[in-house]
Structures are given as C-alpha cells and as structure tokens.
Structure 1
C-alpha cells in the first residue's frame, strides 16, 4: 500500500457515449478514440464469478445475464453536491435481466483500510441522474459488498477527513528505436478503469513514429 492523494489520477474515463478519453502526458493533453467497453456475463447456475477486467465479484442464486461497463464519474457527479465525497474506485453501469437472481455484488475500491475504520465508505447509486448514498453491507480489503442490490451505475466513494492511504499500481512504458531511452512512468490508484484507459492510450500511441511499448 502507498500513501497518495486522490488527485493523483491523470487519466480518466469520459462519457462512454461520446467515446473518447483524456490523458495528461507531462504537460501535453491528448485526446484519443477508444471503443466503449462492454462485457456480457452469463451465469447458468448458482455460484459466483470474478471479472478480471473490472475487479467485480458477483454472487448469483440462479441463471442471470448482466451487462455492464465503466461509466463516467465526471458525467454523473457534475450536478451533485460532492464536496465531502471522494471517488474510491471505478463506476460500473449495470443492466440485469433478473435482479432478484443476484445475491450480492462486490464493487472494487482502491482504499487501504487495514486497521482503519470503514464507516466513511459508501456506495454511490445513481438513479435518473440523482445520486443516493448506500452503506455497504460490509467492506472488504478490495471490495465493498452490497447484498440484494438494485442496479444502475454503482461505485465506491468515501468521506475524507484526513489523508487516506490508497492501493496503487505502477505502469512503465519505454520509447523504442531511440538512442536515448525515454520512459513514461505512471503511479495510479489500483482502479481497473484508469488502468485500462492508460493502456489504451499507449496502445494508440504505439502506432505513432518512435512509439512507446
């Protein structure tokens, strides 16, 4: 675990319906096209599944189909009063054909809460443009658990009173075909949506002359 401030992300998802994202590379602001990322998951019997791409864990009681994708925090928070709230993980938009079949969902977060009180952790639930805060049934080291959930856009937030430790990842890219190696190093919250955008950026950027890999 690392201690970092929550303004550390320099890469974020924008509105998936607009289908572009932004990334701050040094002093340069780049726009690049990425496909809207949607994943369909079908469970044909009772049990649990873990989505490696999003970090989502879902416990189901019977056959169910979930459709979900990374949604945009800026888009949905724009008109909300969120001065006390801070984003703590990806925002996932869900559509479910039989919500009653889902016993619980474990929504990923990047907070480092070992030995700390988790009473300041909430799940933001967006319904028709309005944000509702729900207390998770329990908070685990990497997930906030919501039992018998109602689905729309869901993500973990917290009320910040002091500095908060977060779990981070490091991504390192180097520039090819140059006499002097050039590196891009990112220290990012362990948020699958931010990591995915960063990787998509460099996949796009690798097509340029003198690319990174």
Structure 2
C-alpha cells in the first residue's frame, strides 16, 4: 500500500459507521456533479473502508486526495483534513480538473486527450467510410467519432459507423435503447489499455440512470450485453477491450435527456427549401443524413447544437422570423429513428435577407435553440449551369471546320462548272459520287 493509500485509509478509519455511509453517498453525488468517472452504486454500497480507498485510487488516481478533502469539508469534518495536508498523489496520467462541467461537456479537460484526425477511405459509394488511426503510447481522441483510447504501446486501428436497422428490434426486445453510435472497430496492431465509447445521454442531476448503462457486443456468435462499472458525462469506459461491433445502450423505462444535433440541409433553386432534423448527437446518424440529402442537391449548413440537453419523446416546434415561410410539419418529436429519420421542411419563396430559425419545446415560450441563417449561406448553394464559351482549342477546330466546309463548297462549284461545260465524258452520276466522297473525307479528317 502506497503512502497516499495509507493516509486516506487512516483518515477514513476515524469516521463512524454513519459518517462513512454519508461519505460514500457524497462521493457518488460529488463525482456526478463534477462530471468525474462514476463508481457504481452497488460497488460503493458493498465496499468497506479499505475497498473504498482502492476504488478511489483506481478510478481517480491523483484526484483522490482533493476529492476526499472536498467531501470531508461538506461533512464538516475539517479536523480530519490535517492528516491529508502533506499528502500528494503520484500519477502516471495528466491531471484532470475537478471544476464542474455541464452536461454534454467532456469529463476530462481537453488537454488530457490528444485529438487526432483520422484518414478516410470512401472508395465505395454505397458503403460507409472507413476511418483509420494510429498513435504512440498516450491518451487520444478521434475528432470524428469521439472515441477515446489509452495505450501503453503503438497502436493502429480502423473503424466505421454501422446502421442500426438490423439490430433495433433485438435491442428493443432486450428492453434497451441506443445511447451511442454503433461502431465496428478493428485493431490492426498493438492493443488498447482502455477504451471509451461515446454516449449522448445526460447524466447530470440524474444519478439513478448510471446503473442502467450497458455495452452491446455483436459478433458471429450473436449479441452480448455487458454491464458497465464506470460512466462519465460523455463516455463509457472499457478496460482492455477486445472489439467487435460495439455501442452503448441504456435500459428503457426512465425519462431521459440527451445531447442533440439540429441538422440543416438547404437547396435553393427559384425558391429555398430547408430540411431540419432533430436527433441525438450520433455522428453515424449524421453521416446517414448526409448520404440521404446530398445526392438530391442539398447542402449542409453547420450550426452549433443546442446548449442544453433535451428530453426524449418531447415535441418541439420550429419557427422563423421570415414572413411567408411555409413550415411542415409544424412540430417534431425527439426520438431515435434508425431507418428514415423524420424532418421538418421549410419552404421560402425568393428570400433575399438573413433570417432566424427557432426551436421551442411545445407549450413553452423560450426557445431551446436559435440560430441565424445568413443570406450568403443559402445563396452559395445555387447550382448555376452556365453554357461555357468556346475555348481556344474549340475556336481552332471551328476555324478548321469552316475552312474545310468552304473548301467543299469551292470543289462543288468547280465540278458544277466542268459539268456545265460538258467536260470529258464523265457522267453526272460519277460527279455526284465524287462530290459525296470528297465531303465525306473532309469531315472525317476533322
């Protein structure tokens, strides 16, 4: 046992039974509010003082001392702080902030994770792009998927987002719902020490939801649902993971809020049409929407997502401050649709100004999302098919053609003159054939 563990254990041993139970409750609530990794309620309830110290060291590393001080101050047990005053933790990882975070924010400070841009292979038009990454030892995050990993050696892997269509019925039959994108991850070299699958569920102020998370593993042998022990505000942790098809699930039955995207697709011809989608923050689903809309001539207008999480199955109304705009349907339910996500269509005849889109929960007044759509954003989507003028090469070809056509006319004139003069014994039929042959040769040579 290290010096830090010994100091923490000595401190906790001075707590009475009731104080220790309060300490465990405050440990859970404090980590939830601070957006730190969560130790499951069951493990906390079963752990004695030695067990709690081991769990805290494993989960929070160098944050253990600061976290313990914070909880003891809340319990008004300041006299126990003296034993921790000269204690510091030794960590193999970067320090993580104990500052509060809002729902949807990364639990760890962005400096803790080196963000990497994947290489993209989009060779198959009908297939999902394949993303490839490699890294040395350290802590990393993919900019596209949000997947995070910690490795102690060089690792390379690839992944792609997969459709949920063939999995949804089985997921529902197991009384779960999607809580993160379905990803097919293949490790090419090395191995992960830890993996963090992204999720879009808001866990702030809803600690009872933490025990409802699970991870779906899908391979040739079927589906396996595994309970998880650590959940952060944006990820679920997997220790030494072996990958197949994986995604985060959540048990059905609780009212939940999710972090959302508002996706806007615009097409402008003689009028302006917008398709507006409200979906959970799933990069795989966003990829699918683009695959649906872009071939039809629509263009993405990227806008910041709603700052606050929204409740699933609530209705939301879309409005605009532009007179004459037609909106159909007027409202949309927030839900996860894996096959054909519904959208709101906005039709505007000949707009020539900036305007705003507002999203408001039904029966409420304050919008949950408001964004400006600027004139240059939608006008830049006009597909103008201009008839190109002739190039220099075209002009040269035209000139040659004109010259040769002129030559044909001249030849015709000469032959006609010879015919009129009764030249030789050549028949008019032979002359006609000669004329046709000369025309044919001249055009073929162009």
Number of corresponding residues: 178
Does 1:108 find its partner at 2:198?
yes
Distance 1:81 1:129 in 2: 19
Tell me, yes or no, if the aligned pair for 2:265 and 2:298 is still in contact at 8 Å: no
Counterpart in the other structure of 1:153: 245
Where does structure 1 differ by over 3 angstroms across 4 or more consecutive aligned residues?
76-81
> TM-score if structure 1 supplies the norm length?
0.74
More helix by share: 2
Report the 3-state secondary structure (helix = DSSP H, G, I; strand = E; otherwise coil) of the residue aligned with 1:138.
coil
Q: Which has the higher strand share?
A: 1
Deviations along 1:91-129, one digit per CA (max 9) or x if unpaired, are 111111346x31111111111111212110111111324
Q: Structure 2 length normalisation: TM-score?
A: 0.37
Return the offset for 1:141.
1.1
Relative contact order (alpha carbons < 8 A, sep ≥ 6): 1 or 2 greater? 1
| Superposition pairs of residues 45-56 of structure 1, within 5 angstroms | 45-56=136-147
2:218 is aligned, of 114, 126, 129, to 126
Alignment partner, residue 62 of structure 1: 153
Partner of 2:193: helix, strand, or coil? strand
How many Å apart are 1:79 and its aligned residue?
A: 5.5
Alpha-carbon contact 1:137-1:147 (below 8 Å) kept: no
1:1-213 correspondence runs (5 A): 34-43=126-135, 45-76=136-167, 82-98=173-189, 101-116=191-206, 117=208, 118-179=210-271, 181-206=272-297
CA distance in 2, matches of 1:147, 1:69: 21
Deviation at 1:83, TM superposition (A): 4.0
Give, in whole Å, the separation in 1 of the partners of 2:172 and 2:266: 41
Question: Which residue does 1:28 correspond to in 2?
Answer: none
User: Which structure is larger by alpha-carbon Rg, 1 or 2?
Assistant: 2
Partners of 2:192 and 2:279 in 1: CA distance: 31
Report if aligned partners of 2:197, 2:235 keep a CA contact under 8 Å in 1. yes
Structure 2 unmatched ranges of 5 or more:
1-102, 105-123, 300-377, 382-446
Could you tell me how far apart the structure 2 residues matched to 1:169 and 1:141 are? Answer: 17
The CA distance in 2 between the partners of 1:46 and 1:197, in whole Å, is: 33
| CA–CA separation in structure 2 for the residues paired with 1:164 and 1:112 | 7
